[in-house]
Structure 1
Amino acid sequence: MYKVMIVDDEPLFRDYMRSKLDWASHGFHICCEAANGREALEEAKENRPDLAFIDISMPFIDGLQLAELLKQTQPDISVVFVTGHSEFDYARQAIRLGAQDYLLKPFNKVEFSTTLQRVKRTLDELSRPAIQENTIPPKTRSTEVVPFDVQERLILTLRMREMDAVREELSRIWHEMNNIEISSVIGRGYLEALINLCRAYIIESELSPEEVWGTDSTLEQQLQTLRSWEEAELWILELFSKAVNYRESFKPSKSYQLFTSAKAYILQNYPDSELTVEGVAQALYIDASYLRKVFKKEANISVVDYITYIRMKEAKDILLIRSIKLSAVAEKVGYNDPNYFSKCFKKRYGLTPSEFEQLHAKKANPE
């Protein structure tokens, strides 16, 4: 049986985890407990658990710090965060630290069982003899193989539920990965990171991966069957598409209808340098504070950030089509100050508009 360590500062919750859940039927047993991160490090050193269930909010050392420290001494330990925090940033930090899953309190026994099944498959893979040639080697370490700026762009497009933009970001990834073997550790790491990023977005949306994907209990097994980036692209695209479009199958709420209307208004009026949150709210006959709450609820993003997102996206499209003065591009997307526009563009894409234009020209006309 695989060994489990429970780390939570609430005695009643540790008691629930220990006495009310059926670990043995899934091939696990609890080997130790800890009330905080300091105790957990000592217990892990002595007991070498295969799996750690960790609460994020704890005294002395929080759960995210603890996970990072545990993986420094035991890289293959599986980590599941159990917490009352539902913010996406927590989930995103968790997956970047190589967390196997992320459960929100209160969770039910079905969610618990599904998580243990997923963890057990990973542990079983790690304990097997060397895998056959041409299969993808298992990898459970940090998902930081995907650059942070790439994660940020994908997060934003997911939050906006804009599948065309998601497709564009994924296409950029496939281009970057073109010279890397899909069966390599890096290739596997990229695919796992993309799955986890999408999974975290689903959690942020207060849904479950199983609910959106039908079941994600076989995702790791499916990953093993991929033999080319072409197969991976189609497979990953389907997962992201289901995540983005899931809510569209239901009758949209009043909040979501308002969110959609606000996005449409911003898309039509982004060239106006005087466009403000108050202006958008007034056009929709609602209070600005309510509009901010709607964007927070539906996309976990501010209205101002969305306006900037649209402006940067349109600026990039202009630069890809034709050569144009910086001041003219800035004006077309709602900026009176070209220098400020350039700063915003670099923050979004990592390059100034001029650098972006030169890079695109070099790719279009290689020597």
Structure 2
Amino acid sequence: MYQILIVDDDSIMRRALNVMINKMDGFEVCGEAATGTEAVKVYEKTHPDIIFMDILMPGLTGLDVAKLIREKDKETTIYLLSAYKNFNLAKEAVKLQIKEYLLKPLSMSALSELLTNYKRDKEGSISHYLNSFEEVVSQGDFRKVYYGLEEPINRIYKKYGDDQEKLVEIFRYVGQRLIAQSIVDDNGTADVESLFPLNECLISEPMIAQLWLFKVMNYVYEREAVRRYPVLQNVFVYIDENIHSDIGLNQIIESCSISQGYLSRIFKSQFQVSVMEYLHLKKMHLAKGYFYLTNDSVAEVAFKLGYNESNYFSKVFKKYENKTVQQYRKSMQAKRGTA
């Protein structure tokens, strides 16, 4: 949902814009201000995506406010509003990277076109990344989730690695769109941020994005499987609740009251992997997180994930990662520049 701040000393104009914006899908008004000084305060509190702002106001003008915002924020889209054309003001607006200089009153059709174009441009710039992840989902092979995220994520970081705000925007957009395309619940689509909060402080590291997106993808796969086979809901709940324990297929079928043959067949049809391979992949995903974010020993991580013998855990890790834990840690340290 794109957030919009309305700044105008005319209360009727503010109200009219508010009403029109609320009719637009994907946009909402996050704040209003009647003066330039108030606008700065509301901006600092809400950090909107878009600002509609009158040029001429008591005290700080719209241009004054735009200058203050541009000193620290080049991303927020600003539209300046005026009751008449002024060539000099228009030139100033261009210098401040103002998106457009609009004449009041703004009609519903003009506003609709403006915001539709904004949304298309915003989403178009990151939609091709979404396509890569949608392809992983559409293949219906859970191994693709485990192995297929690194390459598209690295492409994103190659282009936007120094732009943390853009990274957050891209991954929230991708996560939300993927979840929106899955069957969530009877009440509609869930919000990705409420399901899987994104650590904005760590998102500058590709591995964090990979760990986060794996959870999103796993959720999408599970929702689709449950939509087709509701009996799997209990299976996923049991696995998640016991992921840190030493569990096997027998415990799963006994706890979920389902036959081994039926479970194996429907699970394979949805994930293209066996139940136990799925369990190992989820545990290895968690293991990579532990090795990346902590200094825990192999034995400590193995114990946390329900592997009673660290040697067996190491064999499983090497099977799925094609490298030892030590080799994995070295490669991660090299990527972080701490080797």
Q: Which has the larger radius of gyration?
A: 2
* TM-score normalised per structure 2: 0.37
* TM-score normalised per structure 1: 0.34
